[in-house]
A and B are shown apart, each in its own frame.
Chain A
């Protein structure tokens, strides 16, 4: 889980422009693409299906990370959110809750408020990219839901995050 999400995050950050083209995996594709034998190669709902939440989570990238005590979006974060916005515009059935989180270095109440700043930064950016505000809700978990548990910067960096969690859609 840990390893998978961090690899995918790097993936998403590096290849965000490619990933935002939904035709890339589902379309005709190149000869060296194992999934590229027409639409039949796409398993609906799996990460190979560009309209699936799994694709959003893994290929587009569902989260952006923040510096210590900050809620400013990094260039990488904005690139990920660009991909999220494109996906949300193309998959209009989905709504999303953006969850803001903090690392454990901070008091409980402050971290709740800080997580809200982070979630709202992501929300505001998606709205600026054309996503309807009514489709997006925000919530903060403060330091209550870390994904990494070591008490070191390597873990803290992954816990300081805003995660776009999809809801709705045709399959749910």
Chain B
């Protein structure tokens, strides 16, 4: 709905300033240590009577997005020498240079009824030039946070050279109550924890929702029949239907293939858990593994040709990669401890996982052949990584110890820096990060 209302277009009035793409305003986020880049984000200039405090609200969200990456540092407005009082007025570069602002995000906002219109420019202060063209974003006031996220995505993308991830959503399990009486329901939110909406009630246990590649549908496991079964839910209509319901079996750990038509999941018959795939349209299913071991947590690579999964066929949980149609699997994890919940990065270069070693849990990443393993976190219980759409950030759940234990969503950069909790109204687990919205 909001997707159609919100459009991104290049401002035609942009003067022919030289874009300073080769200038100093560049964060190379592959480097080991980063000094956050100082950025000034003055409130957007209100244009017309309806603009109210929208300029301030939008600028705050842009600032939170950018500083939340750990790559930017915001210069407080109290330090500003010149104010941006008109979108058309020339930028006083010397004033921004004097306070060491390397980037300046300046814009204007107008509101008519429920229509909001934002235009903005990104300036490379030390080059004294605009970085890229000015942009205009239009939408409804309901979707104002998305406009701010899109602005921040543009700034992030122009300065880092990476695609942004702020205008994205996360589906997760919202949790309340003590450990022995935990109540769980599916919820969807903006990546930063805003705009939480609940997709199910908490009458029965729900687990591990997983977005489709386009973000239109969610697979999850529910106990509403008394037995774990896989459901597919349409995010727009919140209509759902059961996918796999063979009597006497349990099904769980579903995930979409990139084509959105195939689902891989675990099916338990008796003591044995194997990985199956199903065509979501025809309902036809096919068994992909056939050892007596526990085989679960399958995840496709981005082109849908391979599946990474966990198996205890060697005696303990380890990670394996097999062709998407099943067949011989290659073990890729060989470090000390147990490895589970592998998730292929959207870039295809890394696999994130949960590792248990010496009584601690870690979120880690490794190359798809298992090399260059790096642990990003450590705690009593970290679990269930999911990738940001650009493959730079991982969200996961951290459960604290003991009777008062509580599960909270966290995010961490794939360098291991910038570990921070995601602000959700209740506890959270099993996050699944959706695509960048259009």
A residues lining the B interface (CB < 8 Å): 71, 97, 104-110, 112-114, 116-117, 120-121, 124, 137-141, 144-151
- Evaluate contact between B250 and A139: CB separation under 8 angstroms: yes
- Which of B141-149, B396-404, B420-428 is near enough to bind chain A? B396-404
B residues within 8 A CB of A113?
A: 266, 268, 273, 294, 296
Contact: B383 with A108, CB < 8 Å?
Answer: yes
B354 sits at the interface (CB 8 A) = yes
A117 and B271 form a contact (CB under 8 A):
yes
Given A113-B294, A149-B402, A150-B402, A106-B250 contact (CB < 8 Å): no
CB of A97 within 8 A of CB of B180, answer no
Select which of B205, B312, B317, B341 is within 8 A of A141 by beta carbon: B205
Checking B179, B208, B271, B356 against A109 with a beta-carbon cut-off of 8 angstroms, the contacting residue is: B208
Task: Give me 13 other A-B pairs in contact (C-beta within 8 A), A104-B381, A112-B296 excluded.
Answer: A105-B359, A108-B383, A108-B384, A108-B430, A109-B296, A112-B266, A116-B268, A116-B270, A121-B271, A124-B271, A137-B248, A141-B223, A144-B205
Whether A120 lies near B270 (C-beta < 8 A) is yes
Taking a contact as CB atoms closer than 8 A, the residue among B226, B253, B340, B401 that contacts A97 in the complex is B226
Shortest Cβ distance from B130 into chain A, in angstroms?
48
Q: Give Cα A107–Cα B294 distance, bound, in whole angstroms.
A: 12
B227 within 8 A of A: yes
Report how far A80 CA is from B181 CA in the complex, Å.
27
**Known contacts being A116-B273, A139-B228, A139-B250, is A110 close to B340, with CB within 8 Å?**
yes
Q: How far is the CA of A71 from the CA of B292 in the complex (A)?
A: 13
Interface pair B268/A140, CB less than 8 Å apart? yes
A129 to chain B, nearest CB (A): 17
Main secondary structure of the interface of A (DSSP, over half): mixed
A121-B271, A151-B405 known; A109 vs B340 contact (CB < 8 Å): yes
CB <8 Å contact, B297 and A107: yes
Number of B residues with CB within 8 Å of any CB on chain A: 41
Interface residues of B in 415-438 (CB under 8 A from A): 430
Which B residues contact A (CB, under 8 angstroms)?
178-180, 182, 205, 207-208, 223, 226-228, 248, 250, 252-253, 266, 268, 270-271, 273, 294, 296-297, 310, 312, 317, 340-341, 354, 356, 359, 380-381, 383-384, 399, 401-403, 405, 430
Q: How far is the CA of A148 from the CA of B405 in the complex (A)?
A: 12
State whether B207 touches A144 (Cβ < 8 A): yes
Complex Cα spacing A71 to B381, Å: 23
* Whole-angstrom distance between the Cβ of B339 and the nearest chain A Cβ: 9
Cβ contacts A to B, 25 pairs, < 8 Å: A104-B381, A105-B359, A107-B297, A107-B310, A107-B340, A108-B208, A109-B266, A109-B296, A110-B296, A112-B252, A112-B268, A113-B268, A116-B268, A116-B270, A117-B294, A137-B248, A139-B227, A140-B250, A144-B205, A146-B180, A148-B180, A149-B403, A149-B405, A150-B403, A151-B405
Give the shortest distance, in Å, between A71 (CB) and chain B (any CB): 7
User: Which residues of B lie under 8 Å from residue A141 when comparing CB positions?
Assistant: 205, 223
- Provide the residues of chain A in CB contact with B383, threshold 8 Å: 107-108
Contact at A116–B250, with CB atoms within 8 Å?
A: yes
Question: In the complex, what residues of A have CB within 8 A of residue B271's CB?
Answer: 71, 116-117, 120-121, 124
- A105 engages B226 (CB within 8 Å): no
Q: Which chain A residue has the least Cβ–Cβ distance from B380?
A: A151
